[in-house]
Structure 1
Amino acid sequence: MTKGSRVDSVPDRPNEAKYRGVILGAALGDALGWPHENRARNASGAPRGALVFQSWVKRSGGRFQPHEEMIPAGTYSDDTQLVIAVARSRLQQRRWWDYFSRVELPLWTIYEKGGGGATIRAAKSWLKGVAPWRGPATDVEKYFNAGGNGAAMRIAPHVLVSVDQPFDVAAKSIVVDSVITHGHPQGIVGALSYGYALWIALRNNSTLEYGQLIRDVLGNRSYWSNFPDVSDVWPDWYQIASEHDFESNWSLAVDAQTRQLEIGLNGLDAGALSVEQETLEAIGCFDKKILGAGTVAASASIYLASRYAAGPMEGVATGAFSKGADTDTLASMTGALAGAISGLDWLGSLVRSVQDYEFLSNLSADLQRVLPEDRPFDPVDSRYIGEFYRYLDGNGAVPIPPGLPKKAHAADMVRSKSDNLRARSWVLDGPGDQTLVIKKLDRPRTQNRQREDQDAFEFDESQQSQRTAEFAGVGLFAANIERSTAFYRDLLRLPVVRETPKLIQLGTHLVLRQSDGRVVAGTGTIVYIQVLDIRACVREFDRWKLDVPEIEQNGSRLSFLCRDPDGRTVEVFQR
């Protein structure tokens, strides 16, 4: 494809499956890859390579605020959180950049999961009401050195909203958004080239040939390599950027992006399976100095989406399990591209286990018909954040921005690792809403209170690596799953951590299932046990002279059913 050919034609608007595929593909890749990101500091020793979601424990806080967070299976990270925040901004305001920078991004600071340093710094600057390019000199310098993938990871909604218009419309939105957090061309060029790949894939109504996507991006460099005029939105931005070698750095970033894409294309032309990791390495995915760059994430995701256009899940899995890479972002961006290419079917049943599946599906549908409400809004500032925490503590009320969950309840999702640190957490959720987990770390008022909090959320690190099996939960059949959910969630205050059309998971160990009539509600309890080696477990049945169960396989998940001495059903599984 070359400039002036079909790239300029007006296509049919992509079908709903592509909109859902982009948003859900991004979330699935994010949730699959996040536990394996080096920065995530996964303390659970969870296995790599299985196409299932797994719960895990995230270590955070460094020396001064050491704590651990429980991450339920299927949870997405900052990548999807920011995609949602951008999408919500597009739906709320025609001047969406004001809403994103003054409401969504500042509020994100209290519920972010795994956010990158540049994005968090910028968000905190906006929280103070200061654009990051207008702050103290040292902060401004950091901002113009920020070329990470935090901009590229979130720009898909801009492409979805303007996919039936020339790319320069989406390109301007991408840059207006990118500079809210990132001032270095490496981050902005990466966002533009990735956005162009999304735009091309969404507009394509025929089967993409092997390698076609990456060839189209390279062949139409002029579409994504120019910096659009954003002076009507950010009047002083370019002038300030010019004082930080922006023009020369822009040329270097475009050249780097081109070179990395060419490496990907050469890897495709080589064809051998053995060159895949070599290609990702040559692009820079495992180089600690540049692996987080926007250009690297764009090139690698375009390469994987091109290579696996006929089998998208394999491409997403490759990104998610590429040890040493920025796995959540790589898998998320690859997943969004796969959705733009192939729609929804490739996601299979696994996607229904992604956090907030219903909410994400509805959000993608809303992006097909954006009619901003343009209601007046108040910026989120430090005072608002203080009021929000007081609201979570049960003191007073606070207005919650549109599109965010309105119900809040305390939850034991965080554990302090220091006697001098108190960790508390809350869940905001609701039927069909996004799920937010908010934590607060502070000094305990009394030592006794701290010890009480510690006992509420137990981990036994010393035994984690020695266990060959662990209790995974109890499943209860309910006559009316909505009524039962209300009992455990609203009356007993268990947090809903996962919701699918067939089941509700509350807390870490309770699963409610709707009875289909074959099982009498109130009976039919199922105990779930996860083992490391299911075949070794089956051999034990033979050694104990018990009926040997038959192992069943569903995808990569192995399981069997048996009964305990009291007749309760036990499902044993390995994943």
Structure 2
Amino acid sequence: MTGNNRLSAQVATGMFLGAAAGDALGWPQEARGGLVGGQKERDRAQPHMTFRRWIRHAGHYSSRYRDLVEPGEYSDDTQLLLATARSCLAGDRWWQRLTEVELPTWPLYQRGGGGAVLRAAAAWASGRPPWDSGNSARAKDALAKYRNAGANGIAMRIAPHVLWADTPHALVQRVVRDGIATHGHPRALVGALVYAFALRHAAQAQATHGFGDSIEAAAGGLIDVDQILPELPVGWATSSELDQFAGAWRDTNKETQQLLDIIADSVHQGAMSNPETTLERLGCTDPKVNGSGTVTATAAIYLASRFAARPQGGLLTAAFLRKADTDTLASMTAAILGGLHGIDWLGDLALTVQDAAYLTKIAQRSHARTVDFGHWPDRPSRQSREGLKLTLLSASTNEGSEKPHEFPDGRRFRIADLETLDDRILRARLQLSDGQTVLIDAPRPSNPPVLGRAVQQPARRHDDSGVHTVSNHGSAALANEDPAPEAAVVLAARSLTRSAAFYAQLTGRDIPVRSGTARVGPGLLLQQKPADTPIDTASVSVRITVGLLADVARRLGLDNERIPSSPEEVLEIKDPDGRTVRVSQRHAGVGRDMD
């Protein structure tokens, strides 16, 4: 399949990184996000384009534990967007990939997932669709919840379909087919459609985007129900259920048109309108409706239109709106703004959001429409999930932690880190073979082994880059560094976030910042130092080998004259602390880290 020529790779990257950055920025402020300290703690936060570390309550009510969220880590919104993107890479079998592999696997690593998607994912994991739940009282209750699921769980994940659909009709087909996998109420589906049409227009318009154009484009997503019914699978509903669905669809279209009229009126008032007042009128601060698909979609479209010329203002308004569904609102708003402006306006957020390199890669593959069926797991999903738990428990005894294993969705993984939370939960940080980072939390077994951050060997994924060696041309340069387990060298960083972002761009892989450190490779750890601490950088140089020097130059945005003309050349650059980094190209035939 040929690439999407109407959209640039930069637009695709802007959409994906914008969505992830908005999610990570708004997640701590979400009214239902579980922030320790509650609303009082949320009110203390100031709107800044900076990620922060925070602690949330996670788990079920009977087994609550404290979950430390590192700066830039994203929630279920981005997880599901990526799951959708991987499904789309399966070409014509994208829906099978979504329902047979991605959704059944997602609950294992979900963070902050909504009830509708979790229930649907559990149904798909058991081998049945959520609209075919059985005749028991429990099954009928689950079916009723599915039919009434009208939240924003579809809209937040549909950006990849915008890149794959050539026509408006194709986009409608893909969004509806995707949406019914988890939600059965028109509010979820109509919200996803109007948002998809607005996102598509923004991505295609770019420089020609006019004031309020996204609102007009969104109205194109108000599709007559007679065009929707043929897209539903056989057996999706009884005749009477279809009649109820059709009536609810027409009512939802009318409601959504009223919401679009509200935002159009506000946008036309320009600076005279108050964004917070408009968002309140839409229902964004009402806990009874602020998670609705139509409310969130129209609010995101409004903010992207209102702040089209000042995108950071739109993102901050969404991410810090009091008592709102801030992670999803900010994610959807920033995806539209990313479609309009690319990534430059995001600043450091684009570099420091979790899995930035992976997000960029999958956005570019989605733009190119690279069909890759990947590995479909052979074992049933439930069996694979149980096998994963056994693997992690085995690794907690420090046995086999460095061996690559198979994730239930068919990807390979290595265990990058193990720790315990509240002395009750075993947390494994996994680095998957394609570059994504996931966290698996599970109750510790009885008589557990002694844990901590015992497994420190970082996951080394299938990519073209990695730290080769670190050269120390004067031992005094590192004499005062605090040693770290299994790290040959620890280098001080004045700004750990900026340094980690630099090395992430350089190597093309995500480098998470955790507990004041960032692991660049098996032998190199960066460590945050106070700003006034002197750092001797003149006597230290870092040597790195990569697959292609040209890729490094492209990621760093180097001028053409600085790009090496021969694979034998060495590229010399400075890291944020002034150390010399010498980058050379790996010789042909040298194996990669993970197959």
Question: Between Structure 1 and Structure 2, how many residues are aligned?
Answer: 478
What SS does structure 1 have at the residue aligned with 2:367? coil
Task: Name the structure 1 match of 2:529.
Answer: 527
Q: Displacement of 1:61 after TM fit?
A: 2.5
Residues 203-233 of structure 1 show CA distances to partners (whole Å, capped at 9, x for unaligned) of 2153322222113323x355x4546457577
Q: Displacement of 1:56 after TM fit?
A: 0.9
Q: Displacement of 1:294 after TM fit?
A: 0.2
Aligned counterpart for 1:24 among listed residues 17, 21, 28: 17
Q: How does 1:136-535 map to 2 (within 5 A)?
A: 136-162=139-165, 165-218=166-219, 220=220, 222=222, 224-226=223-225, 228-229=227-228, 234-239=233-238, 242=241, 245-272=244-271, 275-374=274-373, 377-378=377-378, 380-394=380-394, 399-400=406-407, 404=411, 406-412=413-419, 414-415=421-422, 422-429=424-431, 433-441=435-443, 444-446=445-447, 449=448, 481=467, 483=469, 500-502=501-503, 504-505=511-512, 507-511=514-518, 527-528=529-530
Q: Displacement of 1:423 after TM fit?
A: 0.6
Query: Over the residues paired in the alignment, what is the CA RMSD in angstroms?
Result: 3.4
Query: How far apart, CA to CA, are the structure 2 residues paired with 1:156 and 1:526?
Result: 36
Residue 151 of structure 2 contacts residue 292 of structure 2 at CA under 8 Å; is this kept in 1?
A: yes
| TM-score, scaled relative to structure 1 | 0.76
- Is the counterpart of residue 561 in structure 1 residue 562 in structure 2? no
Distance 1:72 1:405, change over 3 A: farther
Task: Name the structure 2 match of 1:131.
Answer: 129
Distance 1:78 1:241, change over 3 A: farther
Query: Where does structure 1 lack aligned partners over 5 or more consecutive residues?
Result: 1-10, 417-421, 458-479, 515-520, 529-559, 565-575
Q: Displacement of 1:359 after TM fit?
A: 0.5
Query: Where does structure 2 lack aligned partners over 5 or more consecutive residues?
Result: 134-138, 455-465, 471-482, 491-495, 505-510, 536-595
Query: How far apart, CA to CA, are the structure 1 residues paired with 2:384 and 2:408?
Result: 11
| TM-score, scaled relative to structure 2 | 0.73
Query: How far apart, CA to CA, are the structure 2 residues paired with 1:527 and 1:376?
Result: 45
Q: Displacement of 1:563 after TM fit?
A: 6.3
Query: How far apart, CA to CA, are the structure 2 residues paired with 1:113 and 1:524?
Result: 27
Q: Displacement of 1:315 after TM fit?
A: 0.5
Residue 358 of structure 1 contacts residue 432 of structure 1 at CA under 8 Å; is this kept in 2?
A: no
Q: Displacement of 1:402 after TM fit?
A: 6.7
Residues 41-91 of structure 1 show CA distances to partners (whole Å, capped at 9, x for unaligned) of 112647231210011111123431010111110001101000100000111
Q: Which moved more, 1:392-401 or 1:93-102?
A: 392-401
Q: Identity of aligned pairs, percent?
A: 32
Distance 1:262 1:382, change over 3 A: same
Residues 429-460 of structure 1 show CA distances to partners (whole Å, capped at 9, x for unaligned) of 16860100111025x514xx59x66x889xxx
Query: How far apart, CA to CA, are the structure 2 residues paired with 1:98 and 1:405?
Result: 20
Query: How far apart, CA to CA, are the structure 1 residues paired with 2:169 and 2:369?
Result: 19
Aligned amino acid, residue 383 of structure 1 = Q
- Is the counterpart of residue 42 in structure 1 residue 44 in structure 2? no
What SS does structure 2 have at the residue aligned with 1:54? coil
What SS does structure 2 have at the residue aligned with 1:411? strand
Q: Displacement of 1:334 after TM fit?
A: 0.4
Residue 356 of structure 1 contacts residue 499 of structure 1 at CA under 8 Å; is this kept in 2?
A: no
Q: Displacement of 1:345 after TM fit?
A: 2.3
Distance 1:125 1:431, change over 3 A: closer
Query: How far apart, CA to CA, are the structure 2 residues paired with 1:523 and 1:138?
Result: 51
Residues 391-423 of structure 1 show CA distances to partners (whole Å, capped at 9, x for unaligned) of 22238986336784511244226335xxxxx21
Task: Name the structure 1 match of 2:6.
Answer: 13
Distance 1:445 1:175, change over 3 A: same
Residues 512-533 of structure 1 show CA distances to partners (whole Å, capped at 9, x for unaligned) of 689xxxxxx99997524xxxxx
Aligned counterpart for 2:120 among listed residues 119, 122, 125: 122
Query: How far apart, CA to CA, are the structure 2 residues paired with 1:272 and 1:194?
Result: 24
Residues 365-398 of structure 1 show CA distances to partners (whole Å, capped at 9, x for unaligned) of 1012224344655475222211111122238986
Distance 1:82 1:360, change over 3 A: same
Residue 356 of structure 1 contacts residue 432 of structure 1 at CA under 8 Å; is this kept in 2?
A: no
Residues 509-562 of structure 1 show CA distances to partners (whole Å, capped at 9, x for unaligned) of 224689xxxxxx99997524xxxxxxxxxxxxxxxxxxxxxxxxxxxxxxx535
Aligned amino acid, residue 406 of structure 1 = F
Aligned amino acid, residue 510 of structure 1 = T
Distance 1:166 1:526, change over 3 A: closer
Residues 336-385 of structure 1 show CA distances to partners (whole Å, capped at 9, x for unaligned) of 11112222322223210000000000101101222434465547522221
Query: How far apart, CA to CA, are the structure 1 residues paired with 2:240 and 2:405?
Result: 38
Distance 1:380 1:253, change over 3 A: farther
Aligned amino acid, residue 406 of structure 2 = P
Distance 1:221 1:85, change over 3 A: closer
Task: Name the structure 2 match of 1:66.
Answer: 64
Q: Displacement of 1:262 after TM fit?
A: 1.0
Query: How far apart, CA to CA, are the structure 2 residues paired with 1:24 and 1:240?
Result: 42
Query: How far apart, CA to CA, are the structure 1 residues paired with 2:526 and 2:440?
Result: 35
